[in-house]
Chain A
Amino acid sequence: MAQFRTCPDTGLYFHKSAESLIKANAVAAAVALLVAGLLGLLVVLTRWQAVHLLPADQFYMALTAHGIDALIFWIIFFEMAVLYVASSVLLRCRLATPAWGWVQFLLMLVGAVMTNVAIFQGSSSVMMTSYVPMQAAPHFYLGLILFAVGALIGCFIFFGTLVVAKQEKSYEGSIPLVTFGAVTAAIIAVFTIASGAIILIPTFLWSIGYIAHIDAEMYRVVWWGMGHSSQQINVAAHVAIWYLIAGLVFGARPMSEKVSRGAYLLYILFLQLACAHHILVDPGISAEWKVFNTSYAMYLAVLASMIHGLTVPGSIEVAQRGKGFNNGLFEWLRKAPWENPVFSSMFISLVTFGFLGGITGVVMGTEQINLIIHNTIYVPAHFHATVVTGTTMAFMAVTYFLIPVLFRRQMILPGLAKLQPYIFGGGMTILVLFMLGAGTLGVSRRHWDMDFTGAALGFDYPGMAYTLMGIGAFGGVIGVIGGGIFLLITVGSLVFGKKLEPSAGLLQSFGFPLAASCYTDKRPETLPRAAPLPAGHHTSSFEAPGTFVLALVLLVTFVVYYFINWKYLASVWQLS
């Protein structure tokens, strides 16, 4: 018999088995974030040429582990929690096959530990991409394979839960928009994991000697089917979290279900084609393939992101105006709860993802422009804007929300929590902006020494490149401090936070269910449809003029920056 408890503050229902799995995955994610953050500190302190902390071998080891722990383990563990929240919690439904949920968790845990062990043994400093024919230890690949199998099980549990919810009629009508966003993320995850299986299983067999040769170009194309798509899961997931938080904090309703879901459909159809961003200066692939895939078939996934970029803040504006914040264009935004980290973290995520991550991603994913950017430090600058200030800050926002609701603990250090999103977001934004600049000056990514110590033939970067890298690294240090504060507050709250129910003990914070008395066998009430739209909805006037102005600012920035880069491209040697 499935048991549920109700959150007395939010009215959300938690299925007992799902609740434990969400906690376990979220805690594992936090551990991965801790490891990734510490390694990130070592990486920035080495790339800060004046500090140059680690020797070369340790730097490449730390960078490999940083990439995998942050981009794969932190994010996908957390996404498992998101999938379970979006299905079981939001649909008021029991989680399908919770026992398989524990298989998911354990496989991912064993895989993550195994790959980290392989890296720290020192024989697998191959970077996250592990491009063949450079070879890692067999358990490096095996760990990733086990982790991926676990994640695939998680996706199927998610789809299974949707089926159960529909059959048991736990909700009326269509699934909520947030859950639809999670469906998008899970679909992209299935393609991601399939690509990973196609390439990592043969590579594992090659590492133990069963296969003689893996074609290096074939590896690149299929590996990026996993490597890039894994980050597209994040886009779908963090946009869903933006919508969720707009609803939680402001009671915002989507401006149009049709538009928002249509935008997600564009993600489902086209977002994953952009794996081609990594193949634009590779040998022998035709311009037709490159242009079609790199542009998500005519930039239709970019269109989708631009739509979400309007409708998420637009829905907040409509809700705020409904509460009377109607003065001028921006009173709704000025009077937003900027001291609430759930909101501020989400809003910084939205803005930095659009202005920094989104624009730079489209620019460097332009077929010809890529040749002035490929493998420079511009690339990590771009994806720190998408996955750190974008995805990670959205996940941080929802974690702040979950501490009292899911973990039943009051948050400690509320004063510090108000500042944390600004410290983390500010530091990482500095890192991103200055690394973008250094990349424009040609500074290489994944490179231990921009002085080229010991090289027979040298090259001198301009002094400005050193300055930009130094300031960027300084921003990175601030970012790591902000990340440390986040972990201090969240993990600290789980251990020391005031218990919101007598049963919320230490073990309960790490996956154990609350006291039996909290749960009942009674099925939750059917999730009703949202309240009807108010009369006069969508009249002829603009509902969210402030947001529209902000969207135009984004567009102008985008257009100007895009053409600046064409101009820059036109200044390099002629190639044909």
Chain B
Amino acid sequence: MTSFMPPADRIWWKVPVGREEIVWILIALTWCLIMFFMMPYWHIYGKQNLSNEAYQTTPAKFGAKVQEGIDQYKTGEEAGVPIIHPPAGSDVYMLGRLWQWWPILELEKDKTYRLHLSSMDWQHGFSVQPININMQVVPGYEMVLTVTPDQSGEYGVVCNEYCGIGHHTMVGKIYVKE
């Protein structure tokens, strides 16, 4: 019965450590270092990294950029939400608000876009399904994702940060065309 009694030795720091503990510590430390270096490794060799490019903004300022994008690139509407088809390589603006993702994006497969995201009101979660890419969308901050959709299809943008009673109706769309 010693786990809840003072150590047997006055100087317990110098009591030798058993061999399996030493071996296990070395194995575990090696694994910890491998996991640590996987992250910088992926920054260099992996294809899925966040640039962490972001700007401080305001809802009015960001909303104006979104509207500009809609005015320039609108191709149609679906359920009252404008659809835009921005050129490959361009800056694309999308906002989250209670309870909409605005506008709908039409992107081309294997083309790269600079996707700007922000919120007009509360925090939202930008969750592209079924590919399962998830970002936090925070009011006052404009996040830039450099994204290259490499599979075509229809994607839902589910809000996965709780944003009030209509949270479950907040679904947007991204179309990726061949």
- Whether both chains belong to one complex is answered with yes
Residues of A participating in the B interface, judged by any CB pair closer than 8 Å: 56-57, 60, 90, 127, 131, 133-134, 171-179, 215-217, 220, 243-244, 246-248, 251-259, 281-287, 290-291, 295, 298-300, 302-303, 306-307, 310-311, 314-315, 362, 366-368, 371-376, 440-442, 444-449, 452-462, 527-533, 538, 540-545, 547-548, 551, 555, 558-559, 562, 566, 569-570, 572-576
Q: Would you give 26 A-B contacts (Cβ < 8 Å), ordered by A?
A: A177-B2, A220-B136, A243-B3, A247-B3, A258-B15, A281-B134, A281-B135, A283-B143, A287-B52, A302-B32, A314-B21, A315-B3, A366-B35, A367-B42, A371-B134, A444-B160, A449-B168, A453-B169, A529-B9, A530-B1, A530-B6, A530-B8, A531-B2, A574-B150, A575-B47, A575-B147
A366-B35, A374-B136 given; A455·B24 CB < 8 A? no
In-complex Cβ contact of B24 among A368, A548, A569 (8 A): A548
Asked if B130 and A572 sit within 8 Å, CB to CB, the answer is no
Interface size class of B (residues with CB under 8 A): 35 or more
Which of A287, A440, A442, A555 interacts with B31 by CB under 8 Å?
Answer: A555
A174–B46 Cα distance when bound, in Å, is: 49
As a 0/1 sequence over residues 28 to 54 of chain B, the CB contacts with chain A under 8 angstroms (1 = contact) are 110111011011101100111111111
Are B171 and A569 in touch, CB under 8 angstroms?
A: no
On whether the beta carbons of A573 and B173 are closer than 8 Å, the reply is no
Given contacts A253-B2, A372-B132, contact A303 B29 (CB under 8 A): yes
State the B residues within 8 Å of A (CB): 1-10, 12-13, 15-21, 23-25, 27-29, 31-33, 35-36, 38-40, 42-43, 46-55, 78-81, 100, 104, 112, 117, 121-123, 125, 127-143, 145-151, 156, 158-173
Contact B10 A576 (CB under 8 A): no
Shortest distance from the beta carbon of A464 to any chain B beta carbon, whole Å: 11
Q: Would A442 and B132 be within 8 Å (CB), given that A258-B12, A459-B171 are in contact?
A: yes
Q: Is the CB of B21 within 8 A of A255?
A: yes
Contact between A310 and B136 (Cβ–Cβ < 8 Å)?
no
* Cross-chain contact of B20 among A252, A367, A542 (Cβ < 8 A): A542
Contacting pair A447 B160 (CB below 8 A): yes
- Residues of the A chain whose Cβ atoms lie less than 8 Å from the Cβ of B172: 457
Question: How distant is the Cα of A284 from the Cα of B156 in the complex, in angstroms?
Answer: 25
A281 touches which of B39, B50, B51, B122 (Cβ 8 Å): B50
Chain B residues positioned under 8 Å from A303 (CB to CB): 25, 28-29, 32
- Within 8 Å CB of B32, what residues of A? 298-300, 302-303, 306
- A542 to B136, alpha carbons, bound, how many Å? 48
Q: How far is the CA of A559 from the CA of B169 in the complex (A)?
A: 39
4 tightest Cβ-Cβ pairs between the two chains A and B = A459-B156, A284-B54, A247-B3, A530-B2
**Beta-carbon contact of B49 and A576 below 8 Å:** yes
Contacts of B2 in A (CB 8 A): 176-177, 247, 252-254, 530-531
Residues of chain A within 8 A (CB-CB) of B125 are: 374-375, 444
The answer, among A215, A283, A295, A307, for a CB contact under 8 Å with B28, is A307
Distance from A167 Cβ to chain B, minimum over Cβ atoms (Å): 16
- Across the interface, which residues of A come within 8 angstroms of B36, CB to CB? 291, 295, 298-299
Q: Could you say which of A217, A286, A314, A441 has the most chain B C-beta atoms within 10 Å of its C-beta? A: A217
* Cβ-closest chain B residue relative to A445: B160
- Option from B21, B160, B165, B171 in Cβ contact (under 8 Å) with A256: B21
Q: How far is the CB of A477 from chain B (nearest CB, A)?
A: 23
Which of A376, A462, A566 makes the CB contact (< 8 A) with B160?
Answer: A376
Smallest CB separation, B176 vs chain A (Å): 9
Given A217-B140, A281-B134, A455 contacting B20 (CB threshold 8 A):
no
Quick check: A447 and B168 within 8 Å, CB to CB?
yes
* Chain B residues positioned under 8 Å from A255 (CB to CB): 18, 21
B24 and A306 within 8 A (CB): yes
Assembly CA distance A547 to B46 (angstroms): 36
Beyond A530-B5, A572-B131, 16 extra complex contacts between A and B, CB < 8 Å: A173-B10, A173-B12, A176-B7, A178-B4, A216-B141, A217-B141, A247-B1, A247-B2, A248-B4, A284-B54, A287-B52, A368-B50, A376-B132, A530-B2, A538-B18, A573-B147
**Complex: A247 Cα to B141 Cα, angstroms:** 52
B3 touches which of A254, A306, A375 (Cβ 8 Å)? A254
Distance (Å) between the CB of A543 and the closest chain B CB?
Answer: 6
* Contact present for B18 and A283 (CB under 8 Å): no
Are B12 and A455 in contact, CB atoms less than 8 angstroms apart?
A: no
Which residues of A sit under 8 angstroms from B48, Cβ to Cβ? 368, 371, 569-570, 572-575
Q: Which residues of A contact B160 (CB under 8 A)?
A: 374-376, 444-447
A175 to B12, CA, bound (A): 12
CB contacts (< 8 Å) of B24 on chain A: these are 306-307, 310, 548, 551
User: Of B25, B132, B136, which contacts A572 at CB under 8 A?
Assistant: B132
Complex-state Cα separation, A454 to B128, whole angstroms: 19
Nearest CB in chain B to that of A439: its residue: B132
Once bound together, how far apart are the Cα atoms of A169 and B133, in whole Å?
Answer: 58
Most buried by A among B4, B6, B9, B147: B4
**In the complex the two chains form, is A572's CB within 8 Å of B46's CB?**
no
Enumerate chain B residues within 8 angstroms of A57, measured Cβ to Cβ: 165
Contact A283 B133 (CB under 8 A): no
| Chain B residues near A458 (CB-CB < 8 A) | 156, 171
In-complex Cβ contact of B46 among A256, A544, A558, A570 (8 A): A570
In Å, the complex CA distance between A455 and B123 comes to 19
A-chain residues with CB within 8 Å of residue B163 when the two chains form the complex: 134
Cα A173 to Cα B20 with chains together (Å): 27
Q: Is the CB of A246 within 8 A of B39?
A: no
Asked if residues B135 and A543 are in contact (CB atoms below 8 Å), the reply is: no
Task: Identify which of B15, B137, B166, B173 gathers the most chain A CB atoms within 10 Å of its CB.
Answer: B15
B21 touching A259, Cβ below 8 Å? yes
For the complex, what is the distance from the CA of A543 to the CA of B6, rounded to whole Å?
22
Q: Which residues of B contact A174 (CB under 8 A)?
A: 6-7, 12
